[in-house]
Amino acid sequence: MLATELRKRYIDFFVKKHNHKEISGASLIPENDPTVLFTTAGMHPLVPFLMGETHPQGKRLVNVQKCLRTDDIDEVGDSTHLTFFEMLGNWSLGDYFKKQAIEWSYEFLTSPLEEGGLGLDPANLTVSCFEGDDDAPRDEEAAKVWESLGFKRVEKGEPLHGGLIYFYNKKENWWGPAGQTGPCGPDTEIFLDSGKEKCPGCDELGVSCDCGKWVEIWNNVFMQYNKNKDRTYTPLAQQNVDTGFGLERVTALMQGVSTHYETELFSEAIKKILELAGGKNPNDFIVSQRIIADHLRAAVFILGDPFGVAPSNTDQGYVLRRLIRRAIRYGKKMGIESAFTTEIAKIYIDLYKNIYPELEKFKDKILAELEKEEAQFSKTLVQGEREFEKMLPNLMKSAQKIVPGRLAFKLYDTYGFPIEMTEELAAEHDFKVDKEGYDKAYKKHQEQSRAGAQQKFSGGLADHSKQTTKLHTATHLLHQALRNVLGNHVEQKGSNITVERLRFDFTHPEKVTPEQLKEVEDIVNEQIQRGLDV
């Protein structure tokens, strides 16, 4: 089953069988959420509606959402972690709750292929529920639904197998609010047996064992609480369901391959990477080829987003720069000498353009930015090497043969020279790098920039009151009016909306004239006066 079909089956199941409306996914770069740099889960763009705002499409929604997570960027290259991924989700905004959400997940997974399901054997499924703590009780309601479907609570000492219900704490079975406060609640997760051998820890840990034998494929979150500023939890007036189903992961499991890199979502890119590296054996440089394939796919989606950013040294642009440079570095490791990022990008644009037309629309920009960044990084590498050579005579004076961490960090911070490159150069001269010192300097820098980012991003929507919501709508009108008057290059760079006023940051190379402002104002007012439905 190809990913295209899996997407379609999921959407059709909820639209045709269970009366959901399909909504389009939101941009990868959050429009009005100051708490995150990227959309990290399908629930992000829907927060206002989870909090009670009326969604124009109704209370039962289904979608595919582009997501990006960089917390585990160093794990990419193993068989499960990805930075960019697609999340399928069905949503209840104060409509159905635990019973239907669980029953429908089960129905989709186990009903026969010819009836629109995935035809999975129930004996290969096992689940987990929230065990309860001081903030919220044990999720008996969810467990009972699973029992009604034939699942049994795991007994103490019982080995891991299909058909069980495990109970875990918040770490495993709770979806926290995206920011510090917001909608949250217990979840129930569904795991599928990958067919791999059990590891020695499986029986003791149950499905929380991450050896890859049992893979989480579906998360049903019951958003029934709001986490307050004082860290207390209050029941939400509206009980919601937020589900997440990882497309790449399930595609791989459905195809019986051991990683998503072996599916059609990555195979062309990987083939090209091996070819560019001079016909390498696919079994060599496994981690490098995966990192390149993952990072460049993520970079294509960031650059090709409607709110796309360019590589830079701050915020989203910094993450993008890091992804591209990391891919190039691993390319060099594999022996790719010439510029290659656009070759791989073209493969992804072709692969995804039907689902994400924005990639085709911004194709020129994606390719131009990659080319520019790759050229600039090559210069950085030359410059970094030169600086390192300059440091050498001094370093030679010490008998210890150690490059101090602060010097390695300086090369990184000032010239963008990656620590791994410094280590390689050091090794050529029989030196070691003080990695601990480097990490310390790096951490200090990160803390400083995080503090800065928090201040900078104290924008967004102050609350979800009617007035604030109206001003939020006005922000969209303003954005379009600016584009009409100043041109399509106008891009939102931030916004801050309170009950009293809105603020909108945007890019434009010149000072906006009073006449232009008047024109923008007139367009916005004209549209408001039309009293259109939102």
Residues that bind ligand SER (CB under 6 A): 41-43, 89, 175, 219, 221, 242-244
In the complex, least distance from residue 88 CB atom to ligand SER, rounded to whole angstroms: 9
Residue with tokens 């390192």: 388
CB of 230 to ligand SER, least distance (A): 23
* Cα–Cα distance for residue pair 95/474, rounded to 1 Å: 28
Spatial separation of the C-alpha atoms in residues 292 and 349, rounded to whole Å = 15
CB 434 within 8 A of CB 423: no
Helix (H, G, I), strand (E, B) or coil at 447: helix
Could you tell me the smallest distance in angstroms from the CB atom of residue 181 to ligand SER? 16
CA nearest 171: which of 189, 147, 157, 190?
Answer: 189
Of 200, 101, 87, residue with least CA distance to 142? 101
Return the residue nearest ligand SER (CB atom).
244
Query: In angstroms, what is the minimal distance from the CB of 132 to ligand SER?
Result: 20
List of residues 6+ apart from 53 with CB closer than 8 A: 464, 469
Q: Which is nearer to ligand SER, 242 or 373 (CB)?
A: 242
Supply the minimum distance, in Å, between the C-beta of residue 173 and ligand SER. Answer: 11
Alpha helices, DSSP H, located in 124-220: 140-148, 170-173, 202-205
First-last CA distance in the chain: 38
The helix or strand, by DSSP H or E, that contains position 149, with its residue range, turns out to be none
Q: What's the min distance (Å) between Cβ of 216 and ligand SER?
A: 9
Nearer to ligand SER, 77 or 89 (CB): 89
Chain-centroid distance, C-alpha 297: 12
CB nearer to ligand SER: pick between 40 and 316: 40
Cα dihedral 307, 359, 373, 248 in deg (nearest 10): 100
Q: Are 136 and 225 in contact (CB under 8 A)?
A: yes
Residue type at position 261 = Y
Strands of the 460-461 sheet, one edge to the other: 460-461, 492-497, 502-506
Give least dist CB 243 to ligand SER, A. 5
- Supply the DSSP symbol for 510: S
Min dist CB 42 to ligand SER, Å, is 5
Closer to ligand SER by CB, 244 or 460: give it.
244
- Which residues lie closer than 8 Å to 532 by C-beta, 6 or more apart? none
Q: What are phi and psi of 263, to 5 degrees?
A: -90, 170
> Which helix or strand (DSSP H or E) is residue 507 part of?
none
Strands 502-506 and 432-433: unpaired
Residue 406: both structure tokens together: 């602060």
